[in-house]
Amino acid sequence: MLDGTVDAVVSDHSPSTTDLKHAHGGDFGLSWGGIAGLQLGLAVVWTAARSRGVALDALLPALTTGPARVAGLDGLGVIEPGAPAHLVAFAPEQPFVVDARALEHRNPDSPYDGTHLVGVPRTVWLRGEVVVDGAHVVRTGAGRTLLPARSRA
């Protein structure tokens, strides 16, 4: 990643109920192919990177400007005058144990349940307005489609 091999680290946040995961007799190849990963994505990636000696400032471009550039949304993922205030206040050394039942996901299921992670997003701002405070969503429906339908996978 640090050598430019990886341009972006993202999540498609493809939540699934447990029953859909076990459909088709539990055949892994036929089950729903995703997880609810948005809420834990930063902590999961940061925990793995940190354990390998990757500095947070070296990781951040893959999570911010990298995805924006790959999607053709230059000017997003930066902190500078005139840029939208999409920001995260992050406690990078705060440890926690994932409790799937406490996640803000519609389906309380996570492959990370019981996993020890580090890094807690404290507050999330979207266009300068708080949408997450203390790991709880406080404003929903604040997002908007950025890519035309034909460009989205």
For the segment 96-152, what is each residue's pLDDT rounded down to a tens digit? 999 988 888 777 778 899 999 999 999 999 988 999 998 788 888 777 777 766 655
DSSP state of 48: H
Domains (range + CATH), the chain: 18-151 (3.20.20.140)
Taking residue 101's Cβ as centre, other Cβ atoms within 10 Å add up to 9
With beta carbons less than 8 A apart as the criterion, state whether 100 and 108 touch: yes
**pLDDT, position 97:** 97
Q: Are 28 and 22 in contact (CB under 8 A)?
A: no
Q: How far apart are CA 149 and CA 68, in angstroms?
A: 16
Find the DSSP H helices in the chain.
Answer: 18-21, 41-51, 56-63, 65-70
Mean local confidence (pLDDT), 14-43: 79
- Token readout for 90 is 């992050």
Q: According to the model, what pLDDT value does residue 137 have?
A: 85
Report CA dihedral (17, 18, 20, 21) to the nearest 10 degrees.
120
